[in-house]
Amino acid sequence: MTKRNSIQSTFNMADANGSITVERERRWRHSDELHRDIRDKRETKLVIGHWRERVIGVEQNAPIYADHFCIDVLLKRTFLECHKGGQRIYRGTADFGAIQITAPETDIKCSFSSPNEALHLFVSRGLLEETFDLIGTKNCSSNFGLQDPNFSVNPSIGALGRILFDSQQSSDMCEAIWSESLSLALLVKVISLNKDCLKQPQISSGSLPIWRQRRVLEFIDGNMCKKISLADMAGQAGLSRMHFASQFKRATGTTPHLFLLQKRVEKAKDLLLDQNLSIQDVAFDVGFGSQSHFTVVFRKLTGITPTHWRAQNRTAA
């Protein structure tokens, strides 16, 4: 698989219909789709909103998102005053292609003195981590940041935004594929402006990137009661079994198999505090095929049997 195809398959940005859509915002920087997915606890990597307002002089307050950056691309020249985190960051004319980036958990408000139009990309922290890793920039941790251009102009990004919006006016399948490619191009172009924004050191060569680790951990936590193979974990990381095992050990200091057993035992300890659960119930709930196998592994990792551990921790229940 080429790096470009790897990027596209990793993003998986399309909606259930297989295409990227641009949502018409009822309120400035408010995405109904994103709010709905947050409410339903669904992972949303990318939502694109389109804002057009002809009423001037009204202060617009954006929702605060916990895990999504908002990349604002102006599609029309306007005059505005903007405050972020209580501080004024811009006052003046902002031209077509001007860009502003708001980080997660940051409040922002703007007032416009002339009609305005913009495209808003709501991008998850995880998607940006994946993008930085895949396009060859520095690897980043969960608290990385993007530099805010503060409405500096990039005509090519503005042009991509306009073409992306226009492509939504057709239901043709070719246009759907085109819009997905444009979304990817626009996101990568914006990120390419921020190659120097990451201050964290790179991880050691050959180590599993943080975003891949997170995918595997989330998969393990969500499937603890099931049989999990090396191939399953490698698939979540998007790697072959051999490459995954090697990179995982460099990153964690242990093999995937031993790590999985440790996670099962840690989960079992929580369940053992519930006196209503039998040892056999606990064994099955954390993915062991039998009580005897569970007991052998538990004693090997803790030094005592599940029954003795429960007795020693009875008062913690």
Tell me the per-residue pLDDT of 303-317, one tens digit each, with 9 for 90 and over.
899 999 998 887 655
pLDDT at 271: 92
pLDDT at 214: 87
Q: Where are the domains of the chain?
A: 3-192, 210-316
**Separation CA 186–CA 175 (nearest Å):** 16
Burial of 314 (0-12, 13-18, 19+ CB in 10 A): exposed
Pairing of strands 22-24, 98-102: unpaired
Which contiguous run of DSSP H or E holds residue 46? strand 46-53
Fold of 3-192: Jelly Rolls (2.60.120)
Choice between 44 and 78, residue whose per-residue pLDDT is larger: 78
**Separation CA 58–CA 111 (nearest Å):** 6
Q: Residue 183: which region, alpha, beta or left (left: phi > 0; alpha: psi -120 to 50)? A: alpha
- Are 151 and 98 within 8 A, CB to CB? yes
pLDDT tens for 244-302 read 888 888 888 888 999 999 999 999 999 999 889 999 999 999 999 899 999 999 998 88
Q: Which two tokens stand for residue 299?
A: 């004693």
Around Cβ 267, how many Cβ atoms within 10 Å?
18
Report the CATH number of the 210-316 domain: 1.10.10.60
Buried b (16+ CB within 10 A) or exposed e, 226-258: eebebebbbbbbbbebeebbbbbbebbeeebee
- Are 151 and 94 within 8 A, CB to CB? yes
Of the ranges 25-29, 136-140, 210-214, the best mean pLDDT one: 25-29
Choice between 315 and 215, residue whose per-residue pLDDT is larger: 215
